[in-house]
Amino acid sequence: MTHSIHPIDVILHKRDGLALTDAEIRAFIHAIVRRTPTRQLVTDAQIAAFLMAVFLRGLDPRELATLTEAMRFSGEVAYTEALNTFAIDKHSTGGVGDKTSLLIAPILASAGLAHPTSEGVPGIVVPMISGRSLGHTGGTLDKLETIPGFNTQLSFPEMRDVLKQYAAALIGQTPTIVPADRILYALRDHTGTVESPFLITASIMSKKLAEGLNALVLDVKVGSGAFMRTYEKSKLLAELMVETGEASGTRTAALLTTMDEPLGRFSGNWVEVWECVDIMKQHRHPMSADLIELSNILSGWMLHLAGRADTPEAGATLSDEILRSGAAYKAWLAIVEAQSGDITVFEDPTTQHKPQATRTITAHQTGYLAAMDCKQVGWAVQRLGAGRAKPGDPVSAHAGIEMHAKLGDKLEANQPIVTLFAEDPELLGEPEAMLRETLQISAAPPQFQPLIREIITKENLA
């Protein structure tokens, strides 16, 4: 805290529903990251009281932008700006089987490499900092780490070197990136202040903006597999994130996308890499159609924002061309090699991380795959060993599920719906019961939600 701003006053002002000044917000975040055990500039209890006050009182757009910026600059930033090119990333709020990052990074890298700047740097770079599996959702970092040797722990200078040559880098969060968020998140987690759209926005956007982005595309999930419980809450989150990104000078678009069933064919860790490698090698499995469609739409928006396509739709077409041409796969192999990964495992992905135990759930009657609680499916994947019960737990490379049907598919009795993979047969029982409980078969064809529900940009913000 500076000599003139005390944490208690910041708490009191927010408690009483006042808008905090920029100086108050910066001083509070500053105190959070500068405190030491012997120098408690602000206590855990004060941070918790602040978080609950923000949860219940909210933040106006200026306060949210300032909080996000203060958090963004609370630690090391990627300084991608030094490359003097167009930096872009995609962020998903988390889903089941959501592996679009593994396709989008090489697609955009390929587009970036195809058109270098006058300084010889790729015209688009993707400085992607990913997270780990959390709750019922998967984590890109856990998936990448099933590739032998793959090193996600690059420093920012190392990342910039990779970007300069390969246009994309896939790295993990480090303790020096947005340290304010790590402290705040740990407290939010046990003080009942996780689900605030304001605090979620500041948490996500501070980390994304620390990448030094010109543009950002957000995939905000709605439906039974989304973190946010209602469409309205997801939409509010999308709007807040777009507003906050734009306030920091980053072009930001958010797509509200349906997460009522796992995306694509596989959910897990290695199996998701396998699915993407198949797609990039032109082995398009019918169950991957929704994954390919969503990846192309998100890439399309990114290519559009990067000036490579006049419309997002033209961008999606370009994205699919890049995928089909083999250029994305080439970029993928280069990125993985640049990060010390063993690319020979992609030659026949089916031979890697073979599960020790499998079990298939079949339809008990003829009908349509009508509904599921996608969150419960995600928890079943976690319980198989692919996710973690708490931060720091190990995850299994082998565990996961393969869906054999999509919502609305006609099923004959005894037709396979889903296959479970685990490292030990004993791990199959509970997830099997969870899946059996949630998979619903109906006599009549069910109603669907479209994959893309709504698109939020600064042009259509209220």
Whole-number minimum distance, CB 236 to a second copy, in Å? 16
Toward a second copy, which CB reaches closer, 51 or 217? Answer: 51
Does 388 help bind a second copy (rule: CB under 8 A)? Answer: no
Under rule CB under 8 A, residue 198 binds a second copy: no
* Least distance CB 383 / a second copy (angstroms): 21
Among 21, 22, 44, 148, binds a second copy (CB under 8 A): 44
Q: Say which of 30, 99, 207, 383 is annotated catalytic.
A: 207
55 binds a second copy (CB under 8 A): yes
Is residue 243 within 8 A of residue 209, CB to CB? The reply is no
| Residues 255 and 219: beta-carbon distance below 8 Å | yes
Q: What are 368's strand-pairing partners?
A: 410, 442
The catalytic residue among 92, 101, 133, 203 is 203
Q: Looking at beta carbons only, is 3 or 426 nearer to a second copy?
A: 3
Of 48 and 322, which CB lies nearer to a second copy in the complex structure? Answer: 48
By CB under 8 A, is residue 80 in contact with a second copy? Answer: no
Q: For residues 303 and 182, what is the distance between their CA atoms, to the nearest angstrom?
A: 32
Q: Is residue 193 a contact residue for a second copy (CB under 8 A)?
A: yes
335, 351 contact by CB (below 8 A): no
By the 8 A CB rule, do 8 and 49 touch? no
Residue 187 or 314 having the CB closest to a second copy: 187
171 binds a second copy (CB under 8 A): no
Q: Which of 49, 126, 280, 456 binds a second copy (CB under 8 A)?
A: 49
Catalytic residue among 188, 235, 265, 398: 188
Cβ nearer to a second copy, comparing 43 with 360: 43
Residue 29 is a binding residue for a second copy (CB under 8 A): no
Among residues 46, 100, 201, 250, which is the contact residue for a second copy, using CB under 8 A? 46
Q: Which of 79, 167, 168 is nearest to 123 (CA)?
A: 167
Closest CA to 299 of 73, 124, 76: 124
Beta bridge partners of 456: 254
Backbone phi, then psi, for 193, in 5-degree steps?
-125, 30
The helix (run of H) or strand (run of E) holding residue 382 is none
Q: How far is the CB of 17 from a second copy (least distance, A)?
A: 9
Q: Which residues contact 195 (CB under 8 A, 6 or more apart)?
A: 227, 228
Of the ranges 45-53, 150-158, 250-258, 267-275, which one interacts with a second copy (CB under 8 A)?
45-53
**Shortest approach of a second copy to residue 8 CB, angstroms?**
6
What HEC string does 193-249 produce?
CCCCHHHHHHHHHHHHHCCCCCEEEEEEEECCCCCCCCHHHHHHHHHHHHHHHHHCC
* Three-state secondary-structure class, residue 418: strand
| In the block, residue with structure tokens 């203060």 | 70
Q: Which of 6, 26, 30, 91 is catalytic?
A: 91
Of the candidates 77, 114, 134, 187, which one interacts with a second copy according to CB under 8 A?
187
CA distance 122 to 83: 9
Q: Which is nearer to a second copy, 46 or 146 (CB)?
A: 46
Q: Alpha carbon of 90 to those of 128, 295, 316, 345: distances in Å?
A: 8, 10, 14, 26
Please pick, from the candidates 21, 117, 191, 317, the single residue that binds a second copy as defined by CB under 8 A. Answer: 191
In the residue annotation, 188 being an active-site residue is answered as yes
How many residues touch a second copy under the rule CB under 8 A: the total is 22
183 part of the interface to a second copy, by CB under 8 A: no
Q: Which residue ranges make up the site for a second copy (CB under 8 A)?
A: 8, 11-12, 15, 43-49, 51-53, 55-57, 187, 190-193
- The catalytic residue positions are 91, 181, 188, 203, 207
